[in-house]
Amino acid sequence: KAGVTQTPRYLIKTRGQQVTLSCSPISGHRSVSWYQQTPGQGLQFLFEYFSETQRNKGNFPGRFSGRQFSNSRSEMNVSTLELGDSALYLCASSLATQETQYFGPGTRLLVL
């Protein structure tokens, strides 16, 4: 089975721009979660989607949003980028909420 894939792997943006990251879960997995990882804050939960519905949300501003499609693929969007948004964004999929999560390789976002 193919693992979780994320695109793009690397991204450079400037302040004020917006960005969309994509995640394809493991086949059969219906839950997708997103995390932000930075040296200062560690791994922080952004949100989780299951069957196209947001189930849980972490403590991030409204500039961070996401969605899930009927094929379970998910996208997250960050609008009005700030320097502090530079991070590794990780996507994880699981069969269902509360099941073991399997992570993708991440997207490294650099905001200049």
Partner 1 sequence: AQKVTQAQTEISVVEKEDVTLDCVYETRDTTYYLFWYKQPPSGELVFLIRRNSFDEQNEISGRYSWNFQKSTSSFNFTITASQVVDSAVYFCALIHPGGSYIPTFGRGTSLIVHP
Q: Where along the sequence are the contacts to partner 1 (CB under 8 A)?
A: 42-43, 45, 48, 55-56, 58, 88, 90, 92, 97-98, 100-106, 108
Minimum distance, C-beta of residue 16 to partner 1, in the bound complex (Å): 26
Q: How far is the CB of 42 from partner 1 (least distance, A)?
A: 5
Q: How far is the CB of 50 from partner 1 (least distance, A)?
A: 9
Task: Strands of 15-100 (E only): list them.
Answer: 19-24, 31-38, 42-50, 53-57, 64-68, 74-78, 87-94
- 3-state SS of the chain: helix, strand, coil percent to 5? 5, 55, 45
Closer CB to partner 1, residue 43 or residue 112?
43
Measured from the CB atom, is 3 or 75 closer to partner 1?
A: 3
Q: State how beta strands 19-24 and 5-7 pair.
A: antiparallel
